[in-house]
Amino acid sequence: MKKRITTFIYLAICMLYTSAVFAQEAYVDTLRTVDGRDSVYIHAMHVKVIRDTIWMQSQVENPSMNAKVIRDTVWMQAQEEAPPTDIIKTKAIGRYDRRILNYRYIPKGNWIGGITFSYMNFDSNDNQLLFSLLKDFDFNGRTLSVKPFVGFAVANNIVLGVKFGYNHTLGSLDNLSLEIDDDLDFSLHDIRYVQDLYSFALFHRSYVGLDRARRFGLFNEVSLGYNTGTTRFSRNKEVDFKATDTRIHELHVGINPGVCVFIMENVSAELSFGVVGFKYRYEKQTNNLGEVGHSRNSGADFKINLLNINIGITLCF
């Protein structure tokens, strides 16, 4: 008798232990039909599961049953999110870590190429209210800039490349009269200014991807360029005609931030503008009388240059 009791206690302990282990390793839920007679057990062993709700079509043929569907729950395996392999880790500066997410926007080893352009036109006839204090003011000016470029991604979101450029500026003042009182007035007429510049620059561009889909991004471009070209300034047409031709050589360092968005799979549109610029310029001038002059100047700009706002298209391949 004692032996039977001992065996029974041992079997009960084994069953309790097995139930406890099974409870830790499996999730159980039940699917029932409308009449509630059948049940199915679903076990999830050693997997990460989530609970979801399903609707099942009733298979009961009895027309007296009003229920068409039943609602129950099942356990399904969760789809784990892939690790963020497209996020570029940014090193903290000292003790400060701003935790800025930088998604891979231009992958390492890719080439980019494109063109940026800008155009500005000004006509005094369209701004009569602004110059209402001036009498007989007739001025027209325009600026056109075209800059093709090509670059190579030496690292994720880091591009080194070269850029070429052409800039044409034309200004024409046909007439300007100013009368303050009967004794003070002056006038200008037949003044013309033409400038043609060619440029070559090396640039470093760093991108910041804003989303995992690689659609929106920011960039900052630092360039070192050389500009050369000519300008011509003339006054009057026939009587007292004066003209000065200038040969220009210029070194320029510029910082140009911008924003870009992929409008197609490998085509992006971008908008950039000049913020900071340092330049050293040498000019040689010759007038129509044969007189020659030289000048050197340097300077820095810490402002948004309205004449250096560029819209462009970039190909990534």
pLDDT per position as a tens digit, 55-84: 445 444 555 444 444 555 555 555 555 455
Domain chopping of the chain, boundaries? 2-77, 88-316
What is the model's pLDDT at position 72? 52
Nearest CA to 175 out of 122, 135, 142, 132 is that of 135
3-state secondary structure of 252: strand
Choose between 22 and 314: higher pLDDT. 314
Domain 88-316 sits in CATH at 2.40.160.20
**Residue in the structure block whose two tokens are 């760093």:** 206
The pLDDT tens digits of the residues spanning 5-17 come to: 666 665 666 665 5
Q: Which of 17-21, 106-110, 287-291 has the highest mean pLDDT?
A: 106-110
What's the chain's Rg over C-alpha atoms?
A: 38
d(CA 317, CA 313) in angstroms, rounded, equals 13
pLDDT value at 166 more than 70: yes
**Residue in the structure block whose two tokens are 């090396």:** 202
